[in-house]
Protein backbone atom coordinates (compact mmCIF):
# COMPACT_ATOMS: atom_id res chain seq x y z
CA UNK A 1 0.00 0.00 0.00
CA UNK A 2 1.37 3.42 -0.96
CA UNK A 3 2.26 5.50 2.05
CA UNK A 4 3.66 8.90 3.02
CA UNK A 5 4.76 9.62 6.58
CA UNK A 6 3.44 13.22 6.69
CA UNK A 7 -0.08 11.78 6.56
CA UNK A 8 0.66 9.75 9.71
CA UNK A 9 0.68 13.03 11.65
CA UNK A 10 -3.06 13.39 11.07
CA UNK A 11 -5.77 12.17 13.46
CA UNK A 12 -7.16 8.85 12.27
CA UNK A 13 -10.49 10.19 10.99
CA UNK A 14 -8.84 13.10 9.17
CA UNK A 15 -6.16 10.83 7.68
CA UNK A 16 -8.76 8.39 6.44
CA UNK A 17 -10.75 11.23 4.93
CA UNK A 18 -7.66 12.65 3.22
CA UNK A 19 -6.56 9.28 1.81
CA UNK A 20 -10.02 8.68 0.39
CA UNK A 21 -9.61 11.73 -1.83
CA UNK A 22 -6.02 11.07 -2.94
CA UNK A 23 -5.02 8.87 -5.85
CA UNK A 24 -1.39 8.16 -6.74
CA UNK A 25 -0.31 9.82 -9.97
CA UNK A 26 2.37 8.04 -12.02
CA UNK A 27 5.00 10.06 -13.86
CA UNK A 28 7.69 8.74 -16.18
CA UNK A 29 11.31 9.87 -16.40
CA UNK A 30 11.60 13.33 -17.96
CA UNK A 31 8.07 14.45 -17.09
CA UNK A 32 7.93 18.07 -15.92
CA UNK A 33 5.66 18.40 -12.88
CA UNK A 34 5.74 22.19 -12.90
CA UNK A 35 7.65 25.01 -14.59
CA UNK A 36 8.82 28.42 -13.42
CA UNK A 37 5.85 30.80 -13.49
CA UNK A 38 3.20 28.09 -13.14
CA UNK A 39 0.60 28.62 -10.41
CA UNK A 40 0.72 26.07 -7.59
CA UNK A 41 -2.14 23.61 -7.85
CA UNK A 42 -1.30 21.60 -4.74
CA UNK A 43 1.34 19.90 -2.63
CA UNK A 44 3.19 16.94 -4.23
CA UNK A 45 4.01 14.13 -1.80
CA UNK A 46 6.55 11.77 -3.40
CA UNK A 47 5.75 8.12 -2.69
CA UNK A 48 8.57 6.55 -4.70
CA UNK A 49 10.98 7.43 -7.48
CA UNK A 50 12.95 10.66 -7.71
CA UNK A 51 12.15 14.24 -8.70
CA UNK A 52 14.70 17.06 -9.01
CA UNK A 53 13.88 20.73 -8.60
CA UNK A 54 16.11 23.05 -10.61
CA UNK A 55 16.36 26.72 -11.52
CA UNK A 56 17.49 28.35 -14.77
CA UNK A 57 19.38 31.65 -14.54
CA UNK A 58 19.45 34.55 -16.98
CA UNK A 59 22.67 33.11 -18.43
CA UNK A 60 20.83 29.92 -19.34
CA UNK A 61 22.80 27.86 -16.82
CA UNK A 62 20.80 25.58 -14.56
CA UNK A 63 21.39 24.49 -10.99
CA UNK A 64 19.77 21.68 -9.01
CA UNK A 65 18.20 23.12 -5.85
CA UNK A 66 17.18 19.83 -4.27
CA UNK A 67 15.83 16.36 -4.96
CA UNK A 68 12.75 14.63 -3.65
CA UNK A 69 12.72 10.91 -3.04
CA UNK A 70 10.26 8.59 -1.35
CA UNK A 71 8.52 10.23 1.63
CA UNK A 72 9.73 13.74 0.73
CA UNK A 73 7.63 16.90 0.58
CA UNK A 74 8.06 19.61 -2.07
CA UNK A 75 9.38 22.64 -0.19
CA UNK A 76 8.87 25.02 -3.11
CA UNK A 77 5.21 24.03 -3.29
CA UNK A 78 4.76 24.72 0.43
CA UNK A 79 6.03 28.26 -0.06
CA UNK A 80 3.86 28.83 -3.12
CA UNK A 81 0.77 27.54 -1.35
CA UNK A 82 1.37 29.81 1.61
CA UNK A 83 2.12 32.97 -0.41
CA UNK A 84 -0.05 32.43 -3.47
CA UNK A 85 2.92 33.13 -5.76
CA UNK A 86 3.86 31.05 -8.79
CA UNK A 87 6.81 28.69 -8.96
CA UNK A 88 10.31 30.11 -9.46
CA UNK A 89 11.83 26.80 -10.55
CA UNK A 90 10.84 23.58 -12.30
CA UNK A 91 10.46 20.00 -11.12
CA UNK A 92 11.56 17.15 -13.41
CA UNK A 93 11.10 13.42 -12.81
CA UNK A 94 14.50 11.67 -12.76
CA UNK A 95 13.31 8.14 -11.92
CA UNK A 96 9.74 7.04 -12.64
CA UNK A 97 7.73 8.32 -9.68
CA UNK A 98 4.38 8.02 -7.96
CA UNK A 99 3.04 11.11 -6.24
CA UNK A 100 0.06 12.12 -4.13
CA UNK A 101 -1.07 15.60 -5.21
CA UNK A 102 -2.77 17.25 -2.25
CA UNK A 103 -5.03 19.99 -3.71
CA UNK A 104 -4.90 23.48 -2.23
CA UNK A 105 -8.28 23.19 -0.49
CA UNK A 106 -7.34 19.94 1.25
CA UNK A 107 -3.88 21.30 2.16
CA UNK A 108 -5.47 24.36 3.81
CA UNK A 109 -7.92 22.15 5.68
CA UNK A 110 -5.21 19.81 6.99
CA UNK A 111 -3.04 22.75 8.06
CA UNK A 112 -6.02 24.28 9.86
CA UNK A 113 -7.33 21.14 11.58
CA UNK A 114 -4.13 19.30 12.56
CA UNK A 115 -1.39 20.93 14.61
CA UNK A 116 0.85 17.87 14.13
CA UNK A 117 0.46 18.02 10.34
CA UNK A 118 1.19 21.75 10.42
CA UNK A 119 4.30 21.14 12.53
CA UNK A 120 5.48 18.35 10.20
CA UNK A 121 5.10 20.60 7.17
CA UNK A 122 6.99 23.44 8.81
CA UNK A 123 9.77 21.13 10.01
CA UNK A 124 10.18 19.80 6.47
CA UNK A 125 10.23 23.37 5.16
CA UNK A 126 12.84 24.38 7.74
CA UNK A 127 15.16 21.47 6.99
CA UNK A 128 15.08 22.14 3.27
CA UNK A 129 15.54 25.85 3.78
CA UNK A 130 18.70 25.10 5.76
CA UNK A 131 19.98 22.95 2.88
CA UNK A 132 19.25 25.75 0.41
CA UNK A 133 21.12 28.24 2.58
CA UNK A 134 24.14 25.95 2.48
CA UNK A 135 23.81 25.80 -1.31
CA UNK A 136 23.72 29.60 -1.50
CA UNK A 137 26.84 29.75 0.66
CA UNK A 138 28.60 27.27 -1.63
CA UNK A 139 27.68 29.15 -4.80
CA UNK A 140 28.43 32.60 -3.43
CA UNK A 141 31.62 32.04 -1.46
CA UNK A 142 33.39 28.91 -2.72
CA UNK A 143 35.47 28.64 -5.87
CA UNK A 144 34.13 26.37 -8.58
CA UNK A 145 37.17 24.09 -8.54
CA UNK A 146 36.67 23.55 -4.79
CA UNK A 147 32.97 22.86 -5.23
CA UNK A 148 33.69 20.35 -7.99
CA UNK A 149 36.27 18.50 -5.90
CA UNK A 150 33.88 18.46 -2.92
CA UNK A 151 31.10 17.04 -5.12
CA UNK A 152 33.40 14.37 -6.53
CA UNK A 153 34.87 13.43 -3.16
CA UNK A 154 31.38 12.70 -1.85
CA UNK A 155 30.97 10.10 -4.59
CA UNK A 156 34.52 8.75 -4.94
CA UNK A 157 33.67 5.62 -2.96
CA UNK A 158 31.48 4.43 -5.84
CA UNK A 159 34.56 3.82 -7.99
CA UNK A 160 32.87 5.32 -11.04
CA UNK A 161 29.81 7.42 -11.79
CA UNK A 162 27.82 7.80 -14.98
CA UNK A 163 27.26 11.48 -15.66
CA UNK A 164 27.88 13.83 -18.57
CA UNK A 165 29.76 17.09 -18.26
CA UNK A 166 26.51 18.94 -18.97
CA UNK A 167 24.66 17.08 -16.21
CA UNK A 168 27.48 17.81 -13.78
CA UNK A 169 27.38 21.48 -14.78
CA UNK A 170 23.68 21.58 -13.85
CA UNK A 171 24.46 20.01 -10.48
CA UNK A 172 26.93 22.81 -9.79
CA UNK A 173 25.16 25.69 -11.53
CA UNK A 174 27.87 26.51 -14.04
CA UNK A 175 28.69 26.13 -17.73
CA UNK A 176 29.66 22.79 -19.30
CA UNK A 177 32.88 24.31 -20.59
CA UNK A 178 33.96 25.21 -17.04
CA UNK A 179 33.29 21.68 -15.79
CA UNK A 180 35.11 20.11 -18.74
CA UNK A 181 38.19 22.28 -18.16
CA UNK A 182 38.33 21.51 -14.44
CA UNK A 183 37.79 17.78 -14.97
CA UNK A 184 40.58 17.62 -17.55
CA UNK A 185 42.90 19.34 -15.07
CA UNK A 186 42.03 16.74 -12.42
CA UNK A 187 42.63 13.99 -14.97
CA UNK A 188 46.02 15.51 -15.82
CA UNK A 189 46.90 15.35 -12.12
CA UNK A 190 45.96 11.66 -12.06
CA UNK A 191 43.03 12.04 -9.70
CA UNK A 192 40.42 10.56 -12.07
CA UNK A 193 39.93 9.18 -15.55
CA UNK A 194 37.39 10.50 -18.01
CA UNK A 195 35.38 8.42 -20.45
CA UNK A 196 32.31 9.26 -22.51
CA UNK A 197 29.52 9.99 -20.02
CA UNK A 198 31.54 8.50 -17.17
CA UNK A 199 34.05 9.48 -14.48
CA UNK A 200 36.36 6.80 -13.06
CA UNK A 201 38.00 7.61 -9.75
CA UNK A 202 41.54 6.61 -8.85
CA UNK A 203 42.94 5.93 -5.40
CA UNK A 204 44.40 9.43 -5.38
CA UNK A 205 40.91 10.93 -5.01
CA UNK A 206 40.16 9.20 -1.74
CA UNK A 207 43.57 9.63 -0.11
Are 167 and 102 in the same domain? Answer: no
Decide which of 104, 121, 140 is a domain's last residue: 140
Residue-averaged pLDDT of the chain:
92
> What pLDDT is recorded for position 61?
86
DSSP, residue by residue, the chain: ----GGGGGS-HHHHHHHHHT---EEE-TT-EEE-TTPPP-EEEEEEEEEEEEEEE-TTS-EEEEEEE-TT-B-HHHHHHHHH-PPPSSEEEEEEEEEEEEEEHHHHHHHHHH-HHHHHHHHHHHHHHHHHHHHHHHHHHHS-HHHHHHHHHHTTGGGSEEE--HHHHHHHHTS-HHHHHHHHHHHHHTTSEEEETTEEEE-GGGT-
Are 87 and 124 in the same domain? Answer: yes
- With respect to residue 171, please indicate whether it lies within any of the assigned structural domains: yes
Kindly report the CATH number assigned to the domain that includes residue 195: 1.10.10.10
Residue 159 binned pLDDT confidence (cut-offs 50, 70, 90):
confident
Query: Under a CB-based contact definition with an 8 Å cutoff, are residues 56 and 73 in contact?
Result: no
Decide which of 140, 161, 178 is a domain's last residue: 140
pLDDT at 203 over 70: no
Residue 205 binned pLDDT confidence (cut-offs 50, 70, 90):
low
Residue 96 binned pLDDT confidence (cut-offs 50, 70, 90):
very high
Q: How many whole angstroms separate alpha carbon 136 and alpha carbon 143?
A: 13
What's the total number of domains in the chain?
2
Are 83 and 104 in the same domain? Answer: yes
Are 42 and 123 in the same domain? Answer: yes
Decide which of 140, 158, 182 is a domain's last residue: 140
Are 23 and 67 in the same domain? Answer: yes
Domain residues for the domain of 31 are: 5-140
Q: What is the pLDDT of residues 125-156, one digit of tens each?
A: 999 999 999 999 988 899 999 999 999 998 88
Strand-strand pairing, 90-103 and 32-34: antiparallel
Percentage of the chain exceeding pLDDT 70: 97
Are 116 and 161 in the same domain? Answer: no
Are 127 and 89 in the same domain? Answer: yes
Q: What is the pLDDT of residues 21-54, one digit of tens each?
A: 999 999 999 999 999 999 999 999 999 999 999 9
Are 73 and 131 in the same domain? Answer: yes
Amino acid sequence: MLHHSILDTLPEDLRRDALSSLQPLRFEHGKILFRAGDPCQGLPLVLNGSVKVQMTGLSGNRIVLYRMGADDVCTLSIGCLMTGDGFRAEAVVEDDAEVFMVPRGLFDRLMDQSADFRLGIMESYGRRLNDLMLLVEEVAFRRMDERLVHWLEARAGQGAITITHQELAVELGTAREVVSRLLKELERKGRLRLARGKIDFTGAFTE
